Amino acid sequence: MTYCVGLLLNEGIVCLSDTRTNAGLDNISIYRKMFTFEEPGERVIVIMTAGSLSVSQTTIAQLREAIEDREATGETSIMLAPTMLKVAEIVGNRLAAVRLEIDEKLSAAQQGATASMIVAGQRKGGAMRLFLIYPEGNFIEATEDTPFLQIGEHKYGKPILDRVVKPTTSIQDAQKAVLLSMDSTLRSNLSVGMPLDLCVIESDACQVTMRRRIEAGDPQFRAMSEAWSNALREGFSQIVI
């Protein structure tokens, strides 16, 4: 499994994903779950994936092929799509088609495969947008009332986002929020693991303005995790019932 989260703020977009994939207790691997597509100054798209690797990797590969196709159009390529809404539609259609194709191959073994995705980005002259793409290809969009979206093992990291994140949250505080959200998930679920991929897209930059890989044992992340644990214990001890 995995955990990915995206925040849509007035100042920009913040995305974070883990990299753990496991097919049993003794078969754990690292695979990137965050993919970026950029034409700096013109458009930037970040896609994060959760679920079956066979579905997500095939979908990403086919999206890349469509970009490189000499006959690509705004109906087939996410880098030519006229709006981020159209980008979400292209990704959703491709994800649904791949899922159905792989499901057919696995049906004889009475197995299935599924995946979901978060699509974030902005094109020049358009608004920043953030979408959650379901396995069936339909999607929902982040709003002012719900400025963050999650996929994968999301329940452990959701409480802090519910309490802290608003559209007015700063980029710096947003990075802290997603990292603490991930820290809570890492502590509670062994199917989520390091290293982590963090990226920031500042409003109207139309490119990734900060990209960071956080390895296991990263001193900054460890210090933040310990400070959060201490703050929780101190807060707990001060509550009187």
> Within 13 Å, how many C-alpha atoms sit on residue 110's CB side?
0
Residues 6+ apart with CB under 8 A from 148: 5, 6, 7, 8, 142, 161, 165
pLDDT in tens, 70-100: 999 999 999 999 999 999 999 999 999 999 9
110: pLDDT strictly greater than 90: no
The pLDDT assigned to 109 comes to: 60
Instruction: Say what the pTM is.
Output: 0.95
The pLDDT assigned to 21 comes to: 81
Range 148-175 average pLDDT: 97
pLDDT in tens, 133-147: 999 999 999 999 999
Kindly tell me the burial class for residue 164, based on how many C-beta atoms sit within 10 Å of its own C-beta (0-12, 13-18, 19 or more).
middle
Domains and CATH numbers, the chain: 3-216 (3.60.20.10)
